[in-house]
Structure 1
Amino acid sequence: MSDVILELSKASIYQRENLILSEVNVSINKGEFVYLIGKTGTGKSSFMKTLYGDIPLKDGVGHIVDYDLRKLKTKEIPHLRRKLGVVFQDFKLLNDRNVQENLKFVLKATGWKDKTKMEHKIDEVLQKVDMKTKSFKYPYQLSGGEQQRIAIARALLNDPELILADEPTGNLDPQTSIEVMEVLQQINKNGNTILMATHDYALLLKYPSKTLKCDGQKVFEVVQKNTKST
């Protein structure tokens, strides 16, 4: 088994007929924490959407968690997404049910049947994001940071090989952003591979890691200067 979780080679990403990114060469290995940065409109979201099957890959080579993005069929997309955990900026929680039911909804939708196993899994992921005491709260009873923790817990339900976090701190204040980053860092230390799109450069300085940048229809790795004094 290869340690490469995501590989794009000479890939072009289009939104309908518009070329968004060209000649994309990206490789992410198991266990890495990788940032995706770039100004609004440079293609970060299109890049992410291509990875979870929302935008088809028309040109080049693309493999993610053992799926070929060029050959990805519509009926395979739910299976691909089970191997990915996706965290969005706007949480996407269902307000008409509590945290426990939100998570159970995802498990049922992805084929879980055994009630005891479902409850055990929900407990396990809530423990990982330090939200075990909030399982009977409704999303609107939680702060933004707490809702994002629940969204991260939801992304962990099917033991994903790769977590795609699309601006996960975009709607949060700086202190809450750091709390959510701490959760993501811990999850990464536990072995989860994470690709995080962000425009919050303060987080990059505080938690330096491999960084990809979208700019001028290209994606390239940028080397962060080490600003820490010796």
Structure 2
Amino acid sequence: MSQPILSLKNVTVYQDNNAILTNIDLEVNHGEFLYIIGKTGSGKSSLMKTLYADLKLKEGEGHFVEYDLAKLRERDIPYLRRKIGIVFQDFKLLPDRNVHDNLLFVLKATGWSEKREMDVKINEVLDKVGMKHAATKMPHQISGGEQQRVAVARALLNDPEVILADEPTGNLDPQTSVEVMNLLREINQNGKTIVMATHDYALIMKFPAKTLKCDAGTLFEVVQRTV
């Protein structure tokens, strides 16, 4: 039996010294698609930040992509992040360089150095998300949905084991949100584990998957009603 890709036991998530979520027990297996839902301020993003080590795990046990989150040292954080891809609500593309160079920046920052290899990888991930045609365009020259596709491509660069998507459709219109969700589901069907924080209940109904809810300082599974 393979180990879960994410395991949290009796975890409390802190923002500064405030406990945001308490007594979290969670296991995510390889290849799962998991939603984390809840109102703004309920702790979804704090939980995500704990997973990618932006917030320290101070209480409980946490293992993620073979790293012990409680014992994680500062110098290990870049290696943890190489194993995960992160997609944010606000795209976080660098406005002063084109799509290709945005992705090049990430590859260089994560230790790639061979130009031809980097160009091949960039073409490959842009092709996967249907954005190869936009490689020479600046972020402001493409739509919000296209920018988010590029952000998904960026998350795929280092062939991560898991994609953490924090409100990836939050800034998109309903039609574009569906397109981005179709893309994420396709990536999941090709074997990637995806953990997605959202408050878009319409999307969850359209693309059902295991769902956990942050509410009143705790995290629990919710069963979706089927019509």
Alignment of 1:146-165 (within 5 A): 146-165=146-165
Give the gaps of 5 or more residues in structure 2.
Answer: none
TM-score under structure 2 length normalisation: 0.98
Q: Which runs of 4+ in 1 moved over 3 A?
A: none
TM-score under structure 1 length normalisation: 0.97
2:121 and 2:191 map into 1 onto residues whose CA distance is 17
Map of 1:43 onto structure 2: 43
Give the gaps of 5 or more residues in structure 1.
Answer: none
2:138 and 2:151 map into 1 onto residues whose CA distance is 13
Q: 1:3 Cα shift?
A: 4.2
Alignment of 1:16-165 (within 5 A): 16-165=16-165
Describe the superposition over 1:197-227 as per-residue Cα deviations: whole angstroms up to 9, x where unpaired.
0000010000000001101111111111222
1:144 and 1:32 map into 2 onto residues whose CA distance is 27
SS in 2 for 1:4: coil
SS in 2 for 1:169: coil
Q: 1:114 Cα shift?
A: 1.1
1:2 and 1:104 map into 2 onto residues whose CA distance is 34
2:100 and 2:14 map into 1 onto residues whose CA distance is 38
Q: 1:19 Cα shift?
A: 0.6
Q: 1:16 Cα shift?
A: 1.1
CA separation of 1:131 and 1:3: change in aligned 2, threshold 3 A: farther
1:81 and 1:153 map into 2 onto residues whose CA distance is 15
What is the total number of aligned residue pairs between the two structures?
A: 227
Map of 1:175 onto structure 2: 175
> Is residue 2:207 matched to residue 1:200?
no
Q: 1:2 Cα shift?
A: 2.6
What is the percent sequence identity of the aligned residues? Answer: 65
Describe the superposition over 1:47-90 as per-residue Cα deviations: whole angstroms up to 9, x where unpaired.
00000000000111000000000001111111111101000000
> Counterpart amino acid of 2:102?
N
2:190 and 2:120 map into 1 onto residues whose CA distance is 19
Q: 1:129 Cα shift?
A: 0.5
> Counterpart amino acid of 2:166?
D
1:177 and 1:133 map into 2 onto residues whose CA distance is 21
2:192 and 2:52 map into 1 onto residues whose CA distance is 17
> Counterpart amino acid of 2:99?
V
Q: 1:181 Cα shift?
A: 0.5
> Counterpart amino acid of 1:173?
D
1:2 and 1:57 map into 2 onto residues whose CA distance is 24
2:182 and 2:130 map into 1 onto residues whose CA distance is 11
CA separation of 1:138 and 1:49: change in aligned 2, threshold 3 A: same
SS in 2 for 1:70: helix
> Is residue 2:8 matched to residue 1:8?
yes
> Counterpart amino acid of 1:84?
I
> Counterpart amino acid of 1:32?
E
Cα root mean square deviation, aligned: 0.8
